[in-house]
Amino acid sequence: MFAYLLRRFALAGLMLFGLICLTFVIANVAPSDPAVLAAGPDAGKAQIEQARREYGLDKPLPVQFLRYVGDLARGDFGRSIATGRPVGSDLARYFPATLELCIVAMTIGLVVGISLGMLSALFKDQWLDHLTRIFAVSGIALPPFWFGLLLQLGFAVWLGWLPTSGRIGVSTDPGDPITGMLLVDALLRGDGALFWQGLSYIVLPALVLSLPCLASILRVNRSEMVEALRADYITSARAHGVSRWRLVTVHALKNAMIPTLAIIGLRWGWMMSSTVLVETVFDWPGIGLYAVSSAIAGDFKPVMGVTLIVGLNFMLVNLVVDLLYGVLDPRLRDA
């Protein structure tokens, strides 16, 4: 188990290096000239050249790369050229919002996806199964921006039950961030009103973000449950008198969860990157919105920072998934 962990960590390190190379290359093949942006709209040739020297953009690419890696090692993500603010502190402000959104969306996806998957397997080829199949297919097929607009129209404009967009009401003071995640902070402070308000703002974007993830968890879990329920060990457990509840929720589900876990890990990574669309529609102040506005301005440091954070997050989650396999499957623990 220890050797397995070590191997996983070493692999993660290599992947991180690859990721850093990739973000650097992508930023440098982008067609915009950051020096022009930095120097401002009315700058002359000399000012542009000065800006170029100031940001070290006149150095050869390998030197720039080494400086980039060196800065990252010190936790320095560089400065946004457009605002002049350090990207690191921007990320610290925007990332918790995205993380919070993703956690809520993933919770919805897990709870609803796994339970509906289980039920569909139990009622295979009956009306419930057909219903969840239609639901899952549309969940994967619906474009999130369109579905988001639809929900805004329905719940915010027509019914008026929930706010249209944003993270918190403009007149509400969320207080100084503790974790940066509004709901967690509200709970830590014991502020129930703030918590409920935060919840009302997060419901719609989280729902939109969770839908494709929920749908694929549902489908994978369903087919794995169908498989598991047909397995020999289920027949013998039935013959030995194990109750139906234990049979489904423990004996079969545990086996079905191993492939489902792989999808959950992938979907988490996918979710982090697809927040871009959802955050834009719901005006959610997370890294997706930050990345989009920076990219439109041609400001490449924030885009690199966001890419790195999203990639790092993906790697971490897959590491956790690998460890969870070991928790679920005793054969891996002994291997």
Partner 1 sequence: MTLVEIRDYRLAFDTFDGTLHVLDGIDLALEAGQTLGIVGETGCGKSVLARSLLRLNESPPARVVSGAILFEGQDVLALPERAMRRLRGRRIAMVFQDPASYLNPLLSIGTQMEDAIRGQESAAGEAKRPRRAIRDHAAGLLASVGLAEPHRLLDSHPHQLSGGMRQRVLIAMALAGNPSVLVADEPTTALDVTVQAQVLALIAGLVKERGLALMLISHDLGVVAASCARVAVMYAGTVVEEAPTAALLANPRHPYAQGLIAAVPDIDNPAHKPRGIPGSIPNLLKPPTGCRFHPRCALATDICRSTKPALRELAPAHRVACHHATPEHPGP
> Shortest distance, CB of residue 232 to partner 1, whole angstroms?
4
331 binds partner 1 (CB under 8 A): yes
Question: Which one of 51-59, 181-189, 203-211, 227-235 is the stretch in contact with partner 1 (CB under 8 A)?
Answer: 227-235
- One residue of 33, 191, 227, 329 binding partner 1 per CB under 8 A: 329
For residue 219 the two structure tokens come to: 């489908």
Cβ closest to partner 1, residue 17 vs residue 233: 233
Question: Which one of 83-91, 145-153, 195-203, 237-245 is the stretch in contact with partner 1 (CB under 8 A)?
Answer: 237-245
At 134, the amino acid letter reads I
Radius of gyration from C-alpha coordinates of the chain: 24
1 binds partner 1 (CB under 8 A): no
Cβ closest to partner 1, residue 203 vs residue 328: 328
3-state SS assignment for residue 79: strand
128 binds partner 1 (CB under 8 A): no
328 binds partner 1 (CB under 8 A): yes
Element (H, E) at 2: helix 2-29
For residue 249 the two structure tokens come to: 């929720």
For residue 74 the two structure tokens come to: 């010190």
Whole-angstrom Cα distance, residue 180 to residue 93? 7
324 binds partner 1 (CB under 8 A): no
3-class secondary structure for 283-327? CCCCHHHHHHHHHHHCCHHHHHHHHHHHHHHHHHHHHHHHHHHHH
Question: Which one of 61-69, 182-190, 217-225, 323-331 is the stretch in contact with partner 1 (CB under 8 A)?
Answer: 323-331
> Shortest distance, CB of residue 154 to partner 1, whole angstroms?
41
53 binds partner 1 (CB under 8 A): no
Number of residues this chain uses to bind partner 1 (CB under 8 A): 23
What are residue 86's phi and psi, to 5 degrees?
Answer: -65, 135
> Shortest distance, CB of residue 222 to partner 1, whole angstroms?
17
Cβ closest to partner 1, residue 84 vs residue 241: 241
- Looking at 230-286, list the stretches that DSSP marks H as alpha helix, in order from N- to C-terminal side: 232-239, 244-246, 253-282
Whole-angstrom Cα distance, residue 150 to residue 153? 5
Element (H, E) at 127: helix 127-141
For residue 221 the two structure tokens come to: 């879990």
231 binds partner 1 (CB under 8 A): yes
The 239-278 contact track toward partner 1, x by CB under 8 A, reads: xxxxx--x---xx--xx-----------------------
Residue 86 is given by DSSP the state: B
Cβ closest to partner 1, residue 259 vs residue 269: 259
Q: How far apart are the first and last CA of the chain?
A: 7
Interacting residues with partner 1 (CB under 8 A) = 230-233, 235-243, 246, 250-251, 254-255, 328-331, 334
